[in-house]
Structure 1
Amino acid sequence: MSSTILPLNYFFILLGLTLSVISIMSFRDQGNPRRIATGSFWALYAVVFLIGDLLLPLVAGIIVVAMALIAGLGGVSLGKYSQFTAEERHESAVKLGNRLLYPALIIPFTTMIGSVVFQKTKIGGMFLLDQKNFTLVSLGIGCILALIVACRFTGSTPVQAMREARRLIDSMGWAVVLPHMLAVLGLLFMDAGVGKAVANITTTYIPMDFKLVAVAVFCLGMTIFTMIMGNAFAAFPVMAGGVGVPILMGVFHGNPAIVAAIGMFSGYCGTLMTPMAANFNIVPAALLDLPDKNGVIKVQIMTALPLLVVNIALMYFLMNAF
């Protein structure tokens, strides 16, 4: 089996080093009233990326608990940042014009090209990209290229880029970590037997002999569990094991592809309505300095609810049509 020139671990290490620098900058920030706690939070997160695969489960658990305590006690706080004035930012934006968009466009473009064109590329008998994570590696390359182009266009330095990275990550705060923590929640729920519990409750107290009822329970369950977990991917194993596979596929012979696709889309309706989906709903509010941190969610609810009804109808009519 061929080895890989650019494994995903390289980018984990780079991210860990970035978080380490942010941690040091936080420790040194006299303008942050909670600089020790803030620096410690980012330092612990850096350890996860740098040597996470070498840590004993107990040590990893202690780190997670420590981070949760720091965040829960309000330890992650904003500091003082070296920023350009509003007039300087406006002048720079006018000068650069549409070129400001180039670094942002480089990221998806590089990700697409890397995933499609260079996925199987070999150099000296080794794959260029990590074969299990070629999309993520391409994304990492795109981010590095975007940083280089941004520094070239603006005349800034990597040091200023680190300052801006710290400002943004402090603005987002503990919400940055939430997707990472929620990523394994679905597996934990499955190991705890939540899927079997859902199956038992639904079959005992809900008339699942009716196709429409079964479809509605599955789609609503996907929405609700996604709101709890903040991630449709974490909710899917629970609802698929409890309702999707044994009832929609086993009893009503639904097409697995259609059940899975529309089920995930129903989960995304929950994503629109929960603060647990921090990277979608809380982070944008923080970055845009919205007065209402739940403002994004309030606007999206009027899209999510009708869309959920449409998903139920689509699954009811389409899951046996193909």
Structure 2
Amino acid sequence: MLSIEHFYWLLAAFLLYAGWRNLRERRYAHAAFWSLIALLFAAGDTILTASKAGDALPSQVAGAGVIALALLATRMRREHIAEAPEAEREASAARLGHRLFVPALLIPLITVAVVLAGEHLALGATPLFGQGSLTLIGLALACAVSAVAAIAVTGQRPRQAADEGRRLLDTMGWAALLPLVLATLGGVFAASGVGEAVASIVSAVIPADSRLACVLAYGLGMVLFTVIMGNAFAAFPVMTAGIGLPLLIQQHGAEPAILGSIGMLTGYCGTLMTPMAANFNLVPAALLELDDPNAVIRAQIPTAIPLLLVNLALMYWLAFR
């Protein structure tokens, strides 16, 4: 039976490998950073179980680890890590042609297949997938299968996949953790009552009995919070708890699935326009060695604004059918 914990352990093993490689190259801050994250992933289930049992020590240790990660991030520097020569990479791309897209296309295909059929798959009387989000399990399985497919397509050694993954990880540095950290921040905001505060402010400012006004407040609020926090995953729980659930769903009868899906996509419009989404907008500019660090954002704004307007219209027309 596959569970998300199995993939956490696999991810922890990869992070430990990245830490070991950095240790060998005397990049001590990088080595400690990735190794500490690996330990947190590997021990996550133990920490959660102990916390539910009332033992606060594991959670406190994990919290100290997060603080240590923040301190280590200040010591990490982006450096060039050797890769295959450009001529060799161009020759490989010409040889492989469109087969290079096969591993990438497997990720969404396998993820969707697991989400749609996962709960019906079993080995005898044992379900194939264990407890947890089928979406996360499907995505993790898809990434693992895609890595194997990439090795088969390119004919490279399995270690090459780990080496290239480590090179990309070190190139991105601490920014690789931003989606995880910002999604957690959104949960913290929701648990601390930020959503209720937003609801009270919005109710005082806009006419809460106007469906259009609530849709605009929800959509534009998703964009604004995403711009501030850098990730729609962080904005979603706050805006949904503050506006989406009490005003649009409970008061105006919006369809939750449609509202949530379009609302999240609306938040992504903010991702396209903010430097806070460093892993999406600043890291690519650094990898491409662009003179303007905001060049990616400037190129995305003409797409983000029309997409925002379309999403607002779709939300208003579809969520209340």
Q: In which range does the TM-score fall when normalised by the shorter chain?
A: 0.7 to 0.9
CA distance in 2, matches of 1:240, 1:138: 25
CA distance in 2, matches of 1:251, 1:135: 30
| Structure 2 CA distance for partners of 1:50 and 1:250, relative to 1, 3 Å | closer
Partner secondary structure for residue 78 of structure 1 = coil
Q: What residue number does 2:69 align with?
A: 67
Task: Tell me whether 282-291 or 300-309 shows the greater mean CA deviation.
Answer: 282-291
Q: Given residue 41 of structure 2, which amino acid in structure 1 is its aligned partner?
A: F
| Structure 2 CA distance for partners of 1:84 and 1:181, relative to 1, 3 Å | same
Give unpaired runs (5+ residues) of structure 1: none
CA distance in 1, matches of 2:290, 2:15: 26
Deviations 1:104-133 (A, max 9, x none): 233333333444345422114211123533
CA distance in 2, matches of 1:265, 1:102: 26
Higher helix share: 2
Deviations 1:264-312 (A, max 9, x none): 3322221222233344334444444444343222222222223323333
Contact between 2:182 and 2:233, CA under 8 Å: does it hold in 1? no
Partner secondary structure for residue 127 of structure 2 = strand
- CA drift of 1:161 comes to 2.2
| Structure 2 CA distance for partners of 1:125 and 1:282, relative to 1, 3 Å | farther
Q: What residue number does 2:30 align with?
A: 38
Q: What residue number does 2:198 align with?
A: 198
Q: What do you get for the CA RMSD once the two structures are aligned?
A: 2.6
Q: What residue number does 2:39 align with?
A: 47
- CA drift of 1:255 comes to 4.5
| Structure 2 CA distance for partners of 1:243 and 1:154, relative to 1, 3 Å | closer
Q: Which structure 2 residues correspond to residues 73-88 of structure 1 after superposition, within 5 A?
A: 73-78=74-79, 80-81=81-82, 83-88=83-88
Q: What residue number does 1:242 align with?
A: 242
Q: Given residue 106 of structure 1, which amino acid in structure 2 is its aligned partner?
A: L
- CA drift of 1:46 comes to 0.9
Q: What residue number does 1:107 align with?
A: 107
Q: Given residue 184 of structure 1, which amino acid in structure 2 is its aligned partner?
A: T
Partner secondary structure for residue 183 of structure 1 = helix
| Structure 2 CA distance for partners of 1:52 and 1:291, relative to 1, 3 Å | farther
Q: What residue number does 2:272 align with?
A: 272
Contact between 2:5 and 2:45, CA under 8 Å: does it hold in 1? no
Task: Tell me whether 241-250 or 12-21 shows the greater mean CA deviation.
Answer: 241-250
Contact between 1:231 and 1:271, CA under 8 Å: does it hold in 2? yes
Percent sequence identity over aligned pairs: 47
Partner secondary structure for residue 25 of structure 2 = coil
Q: What residue number does 2:89 align with?
A: 89
Give unpaired runs (5+ residues) of structure 2: 48-57
CA distance in 1, matches of 2:259, 2:15: 40
Normalising by structure 1, we get a TM-score of: 0.85
Partner secondary structure for residue 235 of structure 1 = helix
| Structure 2 CA distance for partners of 1:135 and 1:317, relative to 1, 3 Å | closer
Q: Which structure 2 residues correspond to residues 219-238 of structure 1 after superposition, within 5 A?
A: 219-238=219-238
Normalising by structure 2, we get a TM-score of: 0.85
Q: Given residue 229 of structure 1, which amino acid in structure 2 is its aligned partner?
A: M
| Structure 2 CA distance for partners of 1:292 and 1:94, relative to 1, 3 Å | same
Name the count of aligned residue pairs: 311
| Structure 2 CA distance for partners of 1:203 and 1:118, relative to 1, 3 Å | closer
